[in-house]
Amino acid sequence: MRENQPNAAPPPVSFGQALRFWFKLGLISFGGPAGQIAIMHQELVENRRWISERRFLHALNYCMLLPGPEAQQLATYIGWMLHRTRGGVAAGALFVLPSLLLLIALSWVYIAFGEMPLVAGLFYGIKPAVTAIVVQAAHRIGSRALKNNWLWGIAAAAFVAIFALNIPFPAIVAVAAAIGYVGGRVAPDQFKAGGGHGKADTSYGPALIDDDTPTPEHARFRWSRLALVVAVGAVLWAAPMGVLTLLFGWHHTLTQMSWFFTKAALLTFGGAYAVLPYVYQGAVAHYGWLSATQMMDGLALGETTPGPLIMVVAFVGFVGGYLKAVFGPDALFLAGAVAATLVTWFTFLPSFLFILAGGPVVESTHGDIHFTAPLTAITAAVVGVILNLALFFGYHVLWPQGFDGRFDWVSALITIGAGVALLRYKRNVIHVIAVCALIGLVLRY
């Protein structure tokens, strides 16, 4: 407990003040979920005291159990607690909007000028760094999630399933959830949720939403409210999907993108890296919206822009819409921008619904082994899936022409250097990418 803390709670926060903060957060939210959560903790818990440490961690632990970007969902949760539904929608949307606009612009530069030596040199250095970043993600999630032999076994089985047997990611998630469901009853000690984000034993002074603040009226569970949220969510999904189907047909690129990324949004347990293999299976291998190399370049762009890493879907949508010329050859930028916006809408809509519908029942589900055990098993499976993704990226970086072509030893050295910087010296991801991009630029010139 810190000493000499202010005795008075901060004044109430107006909706306008909150809007300005959420927009600022959307502009500075670099560093992946860990960095984004750290920024929110410093600003909302320590500096502004809009929410207490304990309530902040309680909300975070709920968001950790959900599919979707946890940092964006946490912002939505806190905005909802402060200013009801409009506060949650504003917080979550402003967390994403700057990233969407920036990625549309960068995707256009990439697709229009990607062959220029400057751009090609930057990506030559960035792609090995991305390979190291994916390995770091597997290590980070694995060290937190794989607490015993049961979970190690699930991770290994998931790796074999996707690497050797090419089993679809949704099937791996379903089997892992079933194992967790049974394991939570047969061996509950082996399937307790691991990790966590520390103990709520620190106080920074009285907060607007404090430890003993009663649950606001709008945050109390009511069946009628739950039904309303589900109904509105169904309309917000079905209306654009119906319009697309009527205008273009079910098999059109825009309609299929919307349907595909709706499914992807429900599979993002463990963060964006977990769902990227599924996105690759669909966007590259099945639909052919973009190439494997373009997919890697998109991940590199996602790593260097603010907002959730899952925003890489905006790049996938833009490139797919642009290359497929869905509005004809004279409206390529419009096609890419509309596709990027659509896939972002369908990817993030479930995140808002999870918070607005599930927030009032957090207390009744958090810590319940029967609820958390399947999610613990899914997280373990995600580790094996991410390892497969690292091997996939490594193959395309180190053997750019395939195993029959030459081994790119320069990219291998950049990958090793980036891995040492990330894993051994804990360097910032953005710094590592910047240095690798500079190396690639120098080497190409």
Contact status, residue 294 vs residue 301, Cβ threshold 8 Å: no
Phi, psi of 51 (to 5 degrees): -150, 145
The pLDDT, as a whole number, for residue 159 is 92
Query: Which pLDDT tens digit goes with each residue over 15-45?
Result: 999 999 999 888 877 656 666 777 788 889 8
Phi, psi of 211 (to 5 degrees): -55, -40
Q: What is the mean pLDDT of residues 161-174?
A: 83
Q: What is the mean pLDDT of residues 403-426?
A: 89
Q: What is the mean pLDDT of residues 188-194?
A: 74
Region of poorest pLDDT, from 321-335, 390-404, 429-443: 390-404
DSSP letter assigned to residue 178: H
Q: What is the pLDDT confidence band of residue 156, given thresholds at 50, 70 and 90?
A: very high
Q: Distance (Å, rounded) from C-alpha 41 to C-alpha 60?
A: 10
Q: What is the mean pLDDT of residues 77-94?
A: 94
Contacts of 20 (CB under 8 A, 6+ apart): none
One DSSP character per residue, 353-404 reads HHHHHHGGGHHHHTT-HHHHHHHHHHHHHHHHHHHHHHHHHHHHHH-TT-TT
Count of C-beta atoms within a 10 Å radius of residue 257? 27
For 367-396, letters b (16+ CB in 10 Å) and e give eebeebbbbbbbbbbbbbbbbbbbebbbeb
Domain boundaries of the chain, sorted by first residue: 116-192+217-444
Q: Distance (Å, rounded) from C-alpha 95 to C-alpha 396?
A: 32
Instruction: Choose between 374 and 314: higher pLDDT.
Output: 314
One DSSP character per residue, 18-41 reads HHHHHHHHHHH--SHHHHHHHHHI
β-sheet bridge partners, residue 143: none
- From residue 320, how far is each of 257, 295, 324, 364, 391 by CA, in Å? 9, 11, 6, 42, 24
pLDDT of 119 higher than 60 = yes
pLDDT of 3 higher than 50 = no
Query: Which pLDDT tens digit goes with each residue over 295-339?
Result: 888 887 777 777 887 888 999 999 999 999 999 999 999 999 999
pLDDT of 5 higher than 70 = no
List % helix, strand, coil for the chain (3-state, nearest 5).
Answer: 75, 0, 25
Q: Which of 18, 41, 74 is nearest to 355 (CA)?
A: 74
Which of 120-124, 164-168, 194-198, 353-357 is predicted most confidently? 353-357
Identify the residue whose tokens are 């190396």.
439
Q: What is the mean pLDDT of residues 397-417?
A: 87
Q: Distance (Å, rounded) from C-alpha 348 to C-alpha 353?
A: 9
Instruction: Choose between 354 and 364: higher pLDDT.
Output: 354
The pLDDT, as a whole number, for residue 4 is 44
The pLDDT, as a whole number, for residue 195 is 42
Count of C-beta atoms within a 10 Å radius of residue 240? 17
| Residues 444, 431, 419: CA angle, nearest 5 degrees | 80
Contact status, residue 351 vs residue 278, Cβ threshold 8 Å: no
> What share of the chain in percent tops pLDDT 70?
89
Q: What is the mean pLDDT of residues 422-429?
A: 83
The pLDDT, as a whole number, for residue 200 is 47
Mean per-residue pLDDT over the chain, rounded: 84
> pTM higher than 0.75, yes or no?
no
Contact status, residue 119 vs residue 128, Cβ threshold 8 Å: no
The pLDDT, as a whole number, for residue 199 is 47
SS (H, E, C) 36-87: HHHHHHHHHHHHCCCECHHHHHHHHHHHHCCCCCHHHHHHHHHHHHHHHHHH
- From residue 98, how far is each of 17, 35, 46, 193 by CA, in Å? 18, 17, 25, 33
Q: What is the mean pLDDT of residues 273-292?
A: 84
Q: Distance (Å, rounded) from C-alpha 100 to C-alpha 247?
A: 25
> What share of the chain in percent tops pLDDT 90?
36
